[in-house]
Amino acid sequence: MATQPYYLKQNVIVEPLINQWYAWSYLISPAPAAMLIANSHLKMMQSFVGAPQVHVSALKNPAMRGGPFLNYGPDKVGAIRTLIDETITEQALLLELAEAIQKFSDLLMTEANGFSLEALYQRVPEPLKGYVELVYDLNNFPSIRFIEALLYASPYFNQSSQSLCLSLSQTDERPFALSTPQINTDGHLHLKIPFGASVLDDLFRMKVEPAAIDPIKEALGVPASGQQLFESFFSSEPPAPPSRYTDRPIRIRYFGHACILVESRDVAILMDPVISYQQFGGIDRYTYADLPETIDYVLITHNHQDHCMFETLLQLRHRIKQVIVPKNNGGSLADPSLKLVFQNIGFPVVREIDEMERIEVQGGEIIGLPFLGEHADLNIRTKMAYLIRLDEKSILCAADSNNLEPALYKHIHQQLGDVNVVFLGMECDGGPLSWLYGPLLTKPLARRFDQSRRLCGSDCNRGMEIVDQLHPSQVYIYAMGLEPWLTYLTSIQYTDESRPIVESNKLVEACHHRGITSERLFGHKEIFL
Ligand SMILES: [Fe+2]
Ligand SMILES: [Fe+2]
């Protein structure tokens, strides 16, 4: 078999892992990664080996699915114990870094009381020395500014903890990925390989271009025990060839969740790529096979796992000419730079965009628009809505923007005028701050504060205030985590009574009253403009 040219099958799941945990941007940037490993991963695993039955019982309740529980039975206690030991040994440096961050944050809180910070440099713990600047804001609150680029260049950025897990997908159902390390061996092939390795591009190119299996098998270092499984991921059957839309009018395709492909005669722009694998059965959808061979621009709206998803991004890296990411604050633990993340995992052309900044593209422009809220009031700037203008048409993708202040869209409208199409997320419940950012907190947050500070998007009233400012003729609700191939990252399970469903129904109805085309998207959708 192995000497013939073969294609990588369209339903091979490729999970990027770090210390066996599902990789996302905060696990790649060294300082937040240190905090996540110390305060989340190790604690969850230790809790599991101490009382596996508690985790099993908790997960019997579907509402607990996104909670801090490992989705394994007691039979996995031994394997998790081994992973704890490995993590403690292999991530010793990052664990020291996490301890230093905690210790020094405590010290700043008690000792930085308005006097010059110069003397405190001597008290910066060794693991942090030379990687931080100490600053006050104008209210005299002290904080640490991390020099993130130097942390990437240091031993703290340990690429040997990166790996890929390959398996064949038979169904959309996948267990929630963010609270359970991937340690399955049955049907799962684990390859220790850094995300930046160019051999991954060769592998993923084989989804479309056939090649011999042996060279790629060798280049990936597939162990003898995994050869048979590896070969089962390939097929001689050619997939449908990628097609590039080169016509008028502009074509917009909804691939599920927040993933939108906008194509004109001149460019292909893909937002928040999260692409379903090919399934036999299940709801209709677009898959990898519906993407063009070259994607001119990938736009990332924000730094949440369901919008910046490396499982899809790595598989598309060789097709992407340029990634555009929101500019970030620089140096805050809560707000790692997406530009540095992408650059350090092998994306050759990454560009930051600022609020109201324009990037010229063939036949139009991409404009970064402010994105308020949905980040629990943390000072996180790595978030951007995008206005795409092509052939005199304009499309706003606002992702999870929460319209906290309608005057914002008044100002935007004054600058940019009406838009034709609005895509808006309305996940208006959202988890509390701690759901995502808890492990980064250096000072505990009272439960009542935590519950009030949520990762929530616009409700109907706030959404309609955007509509009434920008006068679109089409409004689509998206980014709701509705598609079954998404729930392994969002853990969202709605009923008809869930507020996001009720509120988005209301918004669709309000749009219809105004004569605006509107629907909540599900599965797939094609729009011509
Ligand atoms: Fe989000
Ligand atoms: Fe989202």
- Residue-level pLDDT, tens digit, the chain, 529 residues: 545 799 999 999 999 999 999 999 999 999 999 999 999 999 999 999 999 999 999 999 988 988 999 999 999 999 999 999 999 999 999 999 999 999 999 999 999 999 999 999 999 999 999 999 999 999 999 999 999 999 999 999 999 999 999 999 989 999 999 999 999 989 999 999 999 999 999 999 999 999 999 999 999 999 999 999 999 999 999 998 888 898 899 999 999 999 999 999 999 999 999 999 998 888 999 999 999 999 999 999 999 999 999 999 999 999 999 999 999 988 999 999 999 999 999 999 999 999 999 999 999 999 999 999 999 999 999 999 999 999 999 999 999 999 999 999 999 999 999 999 999 999 999 999 999 999 999 999 999 999 999 999 999 999 999 999 999 999 999 999 999 999 899 888 899 999 999 999 999 999 999 999 999 999 999 999 9
* Total residues found in the chain within this entry: 529
Ligand 1 centre to CA of 155 (Å) is 31
Instruction: List, as ranges, residues with CB under 5 A of the ion ligand 1.
Output: 304, 400
Report d(CA 36, CA 24) in Å as an integer.
11
Ligand 2 centre to CA of 327 (Å) is 18
* Secondary structure (3-state) at 119: helix
Quick one: pLDDT at residue 183?
96
Quick one: pLDDT at residue 3?
55
Residue type, 501: I
Ligand 2 centre to CA of 376 (Å) is 13
Whether the Cβ atoms of residue 44 and residue 413 lie closer than 8 Å to each other? no
Quick one: pLDDT at residue 325?
98
pLDDT digits (tens, 9 = 90+) for 180-200: 999 998 999 999 999 999 999
Ligand 1 centre to CA of 347 (Å) is 23
Residue type, 349: V
Ligand 2 centre to CA of 436 (Å) is 12
Report d(CA 96, CA 37) in Å as an integer.
11
Quick one: pLDDT at residue 238?
94
Q: Which residues contact 285 (CB under 8 A, 6 or more apart)?
A: 255, 256, 276, 279, 483, 485, 523, 524
Ligand 2 centre to CA of 307 (Å) is 6
Secondary structure element (H or E) that encloses residue 118, with its range: none
Residue type, 490: T
Residue type, 272: D
Ligand 1 centre to CA of 375 (Å) is 7
Ligand nearest to the CA of 425: 2
Ligand nearest to the CA of 480: 2
Nearest CA to 307 among 245, 364, 191, 385?
385
The predicted model scores a pTM of: 0.97
Ligand 2 centre to CA of 2 (Å) is 41
Ligand 1 centre to CA of 6 (Å) is 38
Ligand 2 centre to CA of 308 (Å) is 10
Q: Find residue 324's DSSP bridge partners.
A: 299, 351
Ligand 1 centre to CA of 305 (Å) is 8
